[in-house]
Amino acid sequence: SVNPDLASERQTASFSVEKLTAWLDGGVEQTQLRRAVVEAIERDPVFSRENQYFQSQNERYEAAVRKAVHLQKKMQEMGWSENGPEFKYIYRAVAGDIAFLLHRVFMRSVSMLGSDEQIAKWIPLASQYQLIGSYAQTELGHGTYLQGLETTAVFDVTTQEFILNTPKISAMKWWPGDMGRSATHTVVFAQLYVHGKCYGIHPFIVQIRSLQDHSLCPGIIAGDIGPKMNFEHVDNGYLMLQNVRIPRENMLNKFCEVQPDGTYVRRGSQKINYFTMTLVRISLISGEAVLPLMKACTIAIRYSAVRRQSKLKPGEQEAKILDYQTQQEKLLPQLASAYAFHFIDNYLQELFNRGYREIQRENFDTLPELHALSSGFKAMVTQHCTSGVEICLRACGGHGYSLLSGLPSLYTKIIASCIYEGENTILLLQTARFLIKCFMAASTGQPVPPSVIYLAAAKPGNCPAKNKLDFLHPDIYTEAYQHVAVRLISSTAAKLQDLIQSGVKKHDAWNRCTVQLVQAAKAHCHYITVKNFAETVEKIETKAGIQKIMKHLCDLFALYGIFSNTGFFLHDGYLSGAQMDMVTASYLDLLALIRKDAVPLVDAFDLTDKSLNSALGSYDGQVYQRLYEWAQKSPTNKQISPAYGKYLKPLLHNRLSKL
């Protein structure tokens, strides 16, 4: 039975939850498909995550391998394929708790970087799991700066082989997933040397473990890099190469080749690789950032409707903590952000599909814009979602700290997304570089890509709002965001130029402006997110109260951003102090308004209890019973602690005898 405190929240929903779910999924058919996949996976006991919180690193790894193997079987059984419409839901349903994800990256890199012969040789082996692949790029001493990698591959003309080496400790490959224990092969990125000349970083297929008994190949030292904050199921590994020889044909040579005599040949455009990088960044936004935030919001908001603490009015029952303004102010902006980022993900996907079509026609014009957007949004969304999950965790008080709440593992997993596929600060600086360039172009009247046209059309003036209701007009707040973005970008550009003109070297000037550049890039992404949210709301055709509640969320998202960055908006007087008070008033009003629909709004994410894996966040709201039941299953309760017999008892007895 559903806890009455949750049931009552659902009775008063101002919109149809089912219709909102379908709209978020992109149609009723998608919802059906998703539910079918999720159900097939969750019903299968092999994919159970029931005891996950009690497992050791070793057990988690073994389970991930077991699940990965089983998934192959399952996909055959269900007729699912890697290219099928189900695939995006499968990973979501297994909650990423699965091995061999790098195997897929291995296959993708062979397909992208390999010649037709290489593809014909390796891909069938890989898809049959006759080998297990990994992707070894990062080293102990190098992550961000690829040109700095230190692994070497020296071509030996006499034997027609490359000799791979790890010349020093910092050159050891470090972090690649699936490499610590599972992989038999890996794509190693190394500095290519031919006849003593360095040609830069190239990819090589290297076998690291025997296909017979899985023991390490000669010259290979590899292992697991040890415990991390999360990803305990993944065997992130290290790899040291000592005079490892591989045939010439193992260099992936679609774009560059070393010919038998040592001649180095370059061919074709590598721009397509650039596109892959941006694609990876975009594709992680939905599954690795927005979904965890949706889960965290679901857990925290349902729990806040069940948890009662203190009294709002003397003599009454203790109040739901969701009724406290401070609790609303923690959770509801996160909820609005989850929606905002879901919509920005749609926007980016669309943009990329369009870009991809152009690129297939060998038109690379959109690439710089796509790259800038993917970098900036990857950084912005992962950062916001990470802090959102953490806010949800802390909003659940003591019980949020229990692993059984599901929140700590959501948090420790999502924080990794701020680093992998490009460290966020570095990515924001890449976006900033694009913005500065476009700003310069726009100010000299040259054409600029669509997402930055506003830089050319900026108009002076102040915010025209007269009362707090004016701040519920999307035009008013979107323009405010635009104004701030333009101001931060133009003032940083001016600062850069001043420095350069005063004789500071270009790179030095850049480093001295990086703090501002990061702010400018964030402001740009924030503006686009707000604008896109408003436009999405505008376009909603579904009835059933959805447009109205989405409008409230959009307003909340926008005003929350102003409320928490007041200085940016007040700085040049665009908003006056009095207007800022109106923003605050409108913002606080919205909290109380959205509070009424908070539970239906998380229900609409349609996350199953199994996918939440949380004692606090289940649909039925039976929080305390579940917490008690789950705790009893903890291994620590299955036996009297050995520590008592070993340490406590002797101590006590020793004491007793002296007493």
Partner 1 sequence: MNADLRRERAAATFQTELLTHILDGGAERTRRRKEIEALVLNDPDFQHEDLNFLSRSQRYEQAIRKSALMVMKLREYGIADPEEIYWFKSFVHRGRPEPLDLHLGMFLPTLLTQATPEQQDRFFMPAWNLEIIGTYAQTEMGHGTHLRGLETTATYDPATQEFILNSPTVTSIKWWPGGLGKTSNHAIVLAQLYTQGQCKGLHAFIVPIRQLGTHEPLPGITVGDIGPKFGYDEMDNGYLKMDNFRIPRENMLMKYAQVEPDGTYVKPLSDKLTYGTMVFIRSLIVGDSARSLSRACTIAIRYSAVRHQSELKPGEPEPQILDYQTQQYKLFPLLATAYAFHFVGAYIKDTYRRISGDINEGDLSELPELHALTAGLKAFTSWTANAGIEECRMACGGHGYSRCSGIPDIYVTFTPSCTYEGENTVMMLQTARFLVKSYTQVSSGQRVTGMVSYLNDLSRQRIQPQHVAARTVTVRINDPVSLVEAYKARAARLVEAAAKNLQAELNHRKSKEDAWNRTSVDLVRASEAHCHYVIVKLFTAKLAEISNAAVRAVLTELCLLYALYGISKNTGDFLQAGILTDAQITQVNQRVKELLAIIRRNAVALVDSFDFHDVHLGSVLGRYDGNVYENMFEWAKKSPLNKTEVHESFHKHLKPMQAKL
Which ranges in 513-597 belong to alpha helices (H)? 514-539, 546-563, 566-570, 577-595
- Please tell me whether residue 117 binds partner 1 under the rule CB under 8 A: no
Measure the CA angle with vertex 287, ends 425 and 359; round to 5°.
Answer: 75
247-276 binders of partner 1 (CB under 8 A): none
395-414 binders of partner 1 (CB under 8 A): 397-398, 400-404, 408, 412
Q: Output phi, psi for 288, to 5 deg.
A: -95, -15
- Known catalytic membership, residue 288: no
547-566 binders of partner 1 (CB under 8 A): 565-566
Q: What is the DSSP letter of 454?
A: G
Whether 237 has a binding-site annotation, put simply, is no
* Partners of residue 155 on adjacent β-strands: 162
Selected catalytic residue, list 139, 161, 232, 421: 421
- Please tell me whether residue 568 binds partner 1 under the rule CB under 8 A: yes
Q: How far apart are CA 81 and CA 75, in angstroms?
A: 7
Considering only 27, 85, 200, 635, the residue that binds partner 1 (CB under 8 A) is 635
311-330 binders of partner 1 (CB under 8 A): 311-314, 318, 323-327, 329-330
- Please tell me whether residue 494 binds partner 1 under the rule CB under 8 A: no
- Please tell me whether residue 630 binds partner 1 under the rule CB under 8 A: yes
Q: Shortest approach of partner 1 to residue 314 CB, angstroms?
A: 7
Q: Shortest approach of partner 1 to residue 302 CB, angstroms?
A: 16
128-157 binders of partner 1 (CB under 8 A): 128-130, 132, 138, 140-145, 148
Considering only 187, 336, 415, 590, the residue that binds partner 1 (CB under 8 A) is 415
When the beta carbons of 397 and 545 are compared against partner 1, the nearer one is 397
Whether 138 has a binding-site annotation, put simply, is yes
- Please tell me whether residue 651 binds partner 1 under the rule CB under 8 A: yes
Q: Spell out the residues 6+ positions from residue 14 whose beta carbon is closer than 8 angstroms to its own.
A: 545, 548, 549, 596, 597, 600
- Which residue do the tokens 């970008």 mark? 489
Contact by Cβ (8 Å): 615, 626 = yes
Helix (H, G, I), strand (E, B) or coil at 200: strand
577-616 binders of partner 1 (CB under 8 A): 577, 580, 584, 588, 592
When the beta carbons of 87 and 324 are compared against partner 1, the nearer one is 324
Site track for partner 1 across 205-224, x = CB under 8 A: --------xxxx------xx
Q: Shortest approach of partner 1 to residue 195 CB, angstroms?
A: 24
Burial class (CB in 10 A: 0-12, 13-18, 19+), 593: middle
Q: Measuring CA to CA, which residue among 123, 173, 180, 182 is closest to residue 150?
A: 173
Q: Shortest approach of partner 1 to residue 248 CB, angstroms?
A: 27
- Please tell me whether residue 53 binds partner 1 under the rule CB under 8 A: yes
Q: What is the DSSP letter of 153?
A: E
Torsion region of 246: left, alpha or beta (phi above 0 gives left; psi -120 to 50 gives alpha) = beta
Q: How far apart are CA 237 and CA 225, in angstroms?
A: 5
Considering only 94, 294, 427, 429, the residue that binds partner 1 (CB under 8 A) is 429
Q: Spell out the residues 6+ positions from residue 230 whose beta carbon is closer than 8 angstroms to its own.
A: 409, 412, 413, 416
- Please tell me whether residue 175 binds partner 1 under the rule CB under 8 A: yes
Length of the chain as a residue count? 659
Q: How far apart are CA 7 and CA 603, in angstroms?
A: 12
Q: Shortest approach of partner 1 to residue 514 CB, angstroms?
A: 5
Catalytic residue positions?
421
Annotated binding site for FAD, which residues?
A: 138, 177
Annotated binding site, which residues?
A: 138, 177
